[in-house]
């Protein structure tokens, strides 16, 4: 690769070889050839004068693309599709007369885009399922580990580390359901002609409408599509691109939300992403453990989210049967959105699978704030022993304010000590340890984890234990 030209970092640094290949020139232009072959096969089946020799020549030259020759033709013709028609025709002269017969440029361009989108969505689905599997395992592992919950990033009631994982997990399950719908409903453009009227094919088949309809469905079948978009202009509606980009944006949002939480927890030193033995956190501060993978997730996810806006504007600005202001934009937005999501899902799986959880740090923070949460139970226990609820409440208020002041001045939370030394709480003085057990303050967190995974996650993804990380993550 040349070092004196710009390199797309999504390809050069981050994305998997599988996703990079799907959007590579080799994949794109070999798919063009497969589409021309499918068209020729279907046309032969419908009695157009196309020989077996011509089809055999096409079949034997799908991958051996002369990119230099195609580039030379494009410099002269200023038309990428015709450049490749001529370049392939030079390779297989016997088939040259029937390549692209009756078709318009969008026959290969749009149908190839949809093939690349479908294969990319399939890869994204596998990666989402793998991430869901890893998250579910961690949720189970830490379903009972009490941790301080936050609202507004202020201390709130307790939850568990596993329950927090289910909040991330639920977002990805929603994404997976929508993603599968997008895959199941993705259509093929098919054989539609220059303005979508199929006029050129009607001419080829001498006015036989049934043969034109059969051609459209047969080519889709040969390219392994069950659905064909019912009507089109020259292009398939760019609404489909917007829906795909929006789906990728949704997945990016889920990864970013999770990564932000991990970055905040990393600051609290409760949960950290994997950190290699020789990894450097800072060039100036060698003690640092920056959450660089989570930060990269947020960085690339932000970019992917912005690309959905491109799809909206592209669809809104298509005039009548088509304009070409979509082309350059789509060459960037579609592959880069998929490459970006590929990256963030790979990183997210790596972070969750290898995340370091520090129970002692977590428990220390829990015990710092738990005395405040326990005051209601302390009051109730004293009332049961004959105490006055209002007097007890006022005593707790006074002690809580004092303890909070000590904490703000840098001291430890001494609320329980203050309560133990106050005669009004004599009835529970010897029970304070049992009244401040974190497990009593996590509600149904543990049960919610089990129920969510057993009843929701497994129903959606099934048993994915046989999915190997190497199958999905490069």
Catalytic machinery residues: 152, 282
* DSSP bridge partners of 146: 160
Distances (CA, A) of 160 to 148, 175, 444: 8, 24, 10
Angle ∠(387,392,393) on CA atoms, nearest 5 = 140
Give Cβ neighbours of residue 320 (< 8 Å, ≥ 6 apart): 233
d(CA 230, CA 236): 10
Residues of 409-434 as b/e, b for ≥16 C-beta within 10 angstroms?
eeeebbbbebbeeeeebebbeeebee
Distances (CA, A) of 120 to 69, 113, 377: 29, 10, 54
- Asked if 104 and 194 count as a contact pair (C-beta separation under 8 A), the reply is yes
- Asked if 413 and 407 count as a contact pair (C-beta separation under 8 A), the reply is yes
Residue with tokens 């060459």: 331
Q: What is the token pair recorded at 212?
A: 């034109």
d(CA 8, CA 187): 30
* DSSP bridge partners of 378: none
d(CA 283, CA 377): 50
Give Cβ neighbours of residue 458 (< 8 Å, ≥ 6 apart): none
Say whether 471 sits in a helix, a strand or coil.
helix
Q: What is the DSSP letter of 13?
A: I
Q: What is the token pair recorded at 51?
A: 């020989």
Count of positions (residues) in the chain? 474
Residue with tokens 């409760």: 270
Distances (CA, A) of 303 to 58, 321, 442: 40, 30, 37
**Backbone phi, then psi, for 377, in 5-degree steps?**
-65, -35
d(CA 228, CA 104): 17
């Amino acid at each position: 690769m040349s070092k004196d030209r710009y390199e797309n970092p999504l390809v050069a640094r981050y994305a998997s070889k599988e996703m990079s290949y799907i959007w590579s020139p080799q994949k794109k232009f070999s798919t063009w050839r497969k589409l021309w072959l499918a068209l020729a096969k279907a046309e032969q089946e419908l009695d157009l004068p196309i020989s077996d020799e011509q089809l055999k020549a096409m079949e034997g030259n799908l991958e051996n693309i002369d990119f230099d020759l195609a580039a030379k033709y494009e410099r002269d013709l200023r038309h990428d599709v015709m450049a490749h028609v001529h370049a392939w025709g030079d390779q297989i002269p016997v088939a040259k007369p029937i390549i692209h017969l009756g078709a318009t440029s969008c026959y290969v361009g749009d149908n190839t885009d949809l093939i690349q989108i479908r294969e990319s969505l399939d890869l994204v689905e596998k990666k989402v399922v793998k991430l869901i599997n890893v998250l579910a395992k961690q949720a189970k592992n830490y379903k009972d580990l009490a941790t301080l919950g936050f609202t507004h990033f202020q201390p709130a009631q307790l939850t568990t580390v596993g329950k927090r994982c289910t909040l991330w997990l639920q977002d990805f399950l929603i994404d997976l359901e929508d993603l599968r719908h997008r895959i199941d409903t993705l259509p093929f453009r098919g054989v539609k002609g220059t303005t979508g009227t199929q006029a050129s094919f009607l001419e080829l088949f001498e006015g036989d409408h049934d043969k034109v309809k059969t051609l459209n469905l047969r080519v889709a079948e040969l390219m392994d599509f069950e659905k064909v978009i019912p009507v089109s202009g020259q292009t398939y509606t760019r609404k489909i691109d917007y829906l795909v980009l929006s789906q990728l944006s949704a997945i990016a949002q889920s990864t970013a939300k999770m990564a932000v939480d991990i970055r905040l927890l990393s600051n609290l030193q409760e949960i950290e992403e994997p950190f290699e033995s020789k990894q450097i956190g800072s060039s100036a501060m060698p003690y640092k453990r920056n959450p660089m993978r989570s930060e990269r997730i947020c960085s690339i996810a932000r970019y992917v989210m912005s690309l959905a806006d491109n799809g909206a504007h592209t669809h809104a600005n298509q005039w009548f049967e088509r304009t070409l202001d979509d082309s350059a934009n789509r060459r960037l937005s579609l592959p880069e959105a998929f490459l970006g999501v590929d990256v963030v899902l790979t990183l997210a799986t790596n972070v969750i699978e290898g995340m370091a959880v520090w129970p002692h740090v977590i428990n220390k923070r829990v015990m710092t704030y738990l005395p405040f949460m326990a005051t209601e139970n302390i009051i109730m226990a004293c009332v049961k022993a004959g105490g006055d609820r209002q007097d007890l409440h006022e005593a707790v208020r006074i002690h809580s304010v004092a303890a909070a002041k000590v904490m703000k001045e840098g001291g430890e939370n001494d609320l329980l000590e203050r309560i133990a030394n106050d005669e009004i709480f004599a009835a529970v003085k010897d029970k304070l340890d049992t009244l401040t057990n974190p497990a009593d303050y996590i509600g149904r967190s543990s049960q919610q984890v089990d129920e969510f995974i057993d009843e929701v996650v497994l129903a959606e993804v099934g048993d994915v234990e046989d999915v190997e990380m190497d199958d999905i993550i490069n």
